[in-house]
Chain A
Amino acid sequence: MSPELTDRTKKKIAEISSRYASKEAALLPVLHLVQNETGFISQQEEKLVADLLDIQPIRVKEVVTFYTMFNQKQVGKYHIQVCSNLTCSLLGGESLIDHLKEKLGIAVGETTADQKFTLTTVECLGACEQAPCMMINFDYYGNLDKGKIDDILDKLE
């Protein structure tokens, strides 16, 4: 049973593929588009993308497992990615991770039972001037403290 993509996504994929000298070069953009819809790249999506780009599914998996932003399994509605690199650590990032673990009741790498939040740590997000920071899905949040984190999470539906 192959996953269905929206027409809009299919159109975007076709448009993007035409930019490159080889179909394979569209792989990363296409994976982003597909993951945007399906949430993660399972074997089904690997096959789908492979067919779209005329490459073998194994080549898709090689790429999916190389890049940290491609999810190999389902993540929650809100993927909380907390920076654990140097500057954020200097400014107390570690204690914020602990706070999140406690608040959500999960360990790093896990998803809450209601599938709402997944908590992971990531490397430098490129927002060190706002350390400590985190990214939820693609939204950046900086200058965090426990209170701010609580506010942010509470506002998420």
Chain B
Amino acid sequence: MAEKILTKNFGLENLFKIGVYLENKGYAAAKKALADMKPDGILEEVKAANLRGRGGAGFPAGVKWGFVPKESDKPKYLCVNADEGEPGTFKDRYIMSHNPHLLIEGIIITSYCVGIHTAFIYIRGEYEAVALRLEQAIAEAYEKGFLGKDILGSGFHLDVYVHRGAGAYICGEETALLESLEGKRGNPRLKPPFPASVGLFGCPTVINNVETISNVPSIVLNGASWFCQTGLPKDGGTRIFGVSGMVKKPGIYELPVGTSLKEIITKHAGGMKEGKNLKAVIPGGMSAPILTADEIAIDMDFDSLMQAKSMLGSAAIIVIDEETSMLDVLKRITKFYSHESCGQCTPCRIGNSWINKIVKRIADGSGKRGDLDKIVKLANNMLGKTLCPLGDAAAMPVLSIIQKFRKELETYLGN
């Protein structure tokens, strides 16, 4: 039975209370980091662990932290990305609701490592209850001296604040998140410059996903090689897979990186619902290109999925059954991206809306021959040409569905 890291203690009652957390090795990593380790040492460990971002892009966290200039006359910031907007994703909600102190501990170590004294948890606006829980946990941490001035007598000080979003998927994109945190519209910024040099309020900023940061305490406590032994050498640790859709047991399943998709669906999530047959799976959140029923014998890690021309993304697995029309799936997808486009750049703003209009027309029964090709053309117009990855996120699933389910989609067209 593979070792759980993040959800290990989820069974404990009131784990979200600092008392319970402390009783179960809570804040031991933070203590170790502040007392026994130097920031450089922590950075080396995280780099060696090859901790990859768990928000979607999979960028190595240690490398990202390393981009922040050591010396800076500006304050540095940490923004924890708790926007969790990728459809199908709900893992961070679990971490923050059940084990908020794990996140806080990760924030302390990360901040200490990079030289940050103010951290914001940017949490999606809908997660009000979760935000309240976080605020309570933060208050407890301040009370016990894990946050604030001179933490545990180390001389290191850190303030952590919860900052709620207000309903915009695009604010999960790191630069849009910064804009939103600064009180503006969530419009992504041009990169370069990158947030590591010019981020929040123009200062060096690290932005990482909740799950990514939550892995830091165990890496500090157990070391990089331990982390790599769980999972894969280049892609260590576990992932919290979020399974939803037509399965018997939707929910979160923390498993080593590289676990087979088939195993996750059939063994852990209980297999298909009674009387349902598997048709397709979205393996990494809505933006991930779709896999057909024949393609689920695949290992869930970044490289394997990339080779299969899909992506691990947020490890959100949506299981689709044969009775579901792929046109309907397409409709939901195009509606989503056209609704969430910030509207800044031409190909995404107009391209997504145009694609959505075509799909709606097809769904209303007025589809014409050539419509699918037009959608493909428009999606390719966006791919790699938009200001931020939302264009790619919108194009990839659409292209994969049309490619793999063209015959079915054509049946919905007229002449």
Contacts and interface: CB of A to CB of B under 8 A. Distances in A.
A140 B125 CA distance: 13
A123 B242 contact: no
A126 B124 contact: yes
B182 A140 contact: no
A32 B166 contact: yes
B340 A22 contact: no
A109 interface: no
B87 A123 contact: yes
Given A84-B332, A123-B340, A138 B129 contact: yes
B126 A22 contact: no
B167 A69 contact: yes
Given A24-B182, A29-B164, A129 B87 contact: no
Q: Size range of the interface on A?
A: 35 or more
A87 B168 contact: no
B318 A87 contact: yes
Contacts, number: 144
A65 to B, nearest CB: 9
Given A21-B201, A22-B201, A29-B164, A129 B90 contact: yes
Interface residues of B, number: 58
Interface string B155-166: 000010101111
A96 interface: no
B125 A69 contact: yes
A135 B127 CA distance: 10
Interface in A46-98: 53, 55, 59, 62-63, 66-70, 84-87, 89-91
A123 to B, nearest CB: 6
A67 B282 CA distance: 27
Q: Which residue, of B85, B183, B332, B339, has the highest number of chain A Cβ atoms within 10 A?
A: B183
Interface in B312-366: 316, 318, 320-321, 324, 328-329, 332-333, 335-336, 339-340, 342
A131 interface: yes
Interface string B78-92: 000000111111100
A55 B182 CA distance: 13
B352 to A, nearest CB: 13
B150 interface: no
Given A86-B87, A86-B318, A138 B126 contact: yes
B167 A67 contact: yes
A122 B166 CA distance: 12
A27 B104 CA distance: 25
B179 to A, nearest CB: 10
A126 B318 contact: no
A53 B183 CA distance: 10
Contact of A126 (B90, B201, B328): B90
A86 B319 CA distance: 10
Nearest to B86: A124
Interface stretch (B12-20, B243-251, B295-303): B243-251
Contacts of B320: 90
Nearest to B162: A29
A28 B243 contact: no
A90 B125 contact: no
Interface of A: 19-22, 24-29, 31-32, 53, 55, 59, 62-63, 66-70, 84-87, 89-91, 122-131, 135, 138-140
Given A86-B282, A123-B85, A126-B93, 5 more contacts: A66-B168, A84-B332, A86-B336, A126-B90, A126-B124
Q: Which 7 A-B pairs have the closest CB atoms?
A: A27-B183, A67-B166, A68-B167, A128-B244, A69-B167, A124-B87, A138-B128
Interface of B: 75, 84-90, 93, 124-129, 159, 161, 163-169, 180-186, 200-201, 203, 242-246, 250-252, 282, 286, 316, 318, 320-321, 324, 328-329, 332-333, 335-336, 339-340, 342
21 contacts: A20-B183, A21-B201, A24-B182, A25-B201, A28-B165, A28-B166, A32-B166, A66-B342, A69-B167, A70-B167, A84-B332, A86-B88, A86-B329, A90-B245, A90-B324, A123-B85, A123-B87, A126-B84, A127-B90, A128-B89, A128-B242
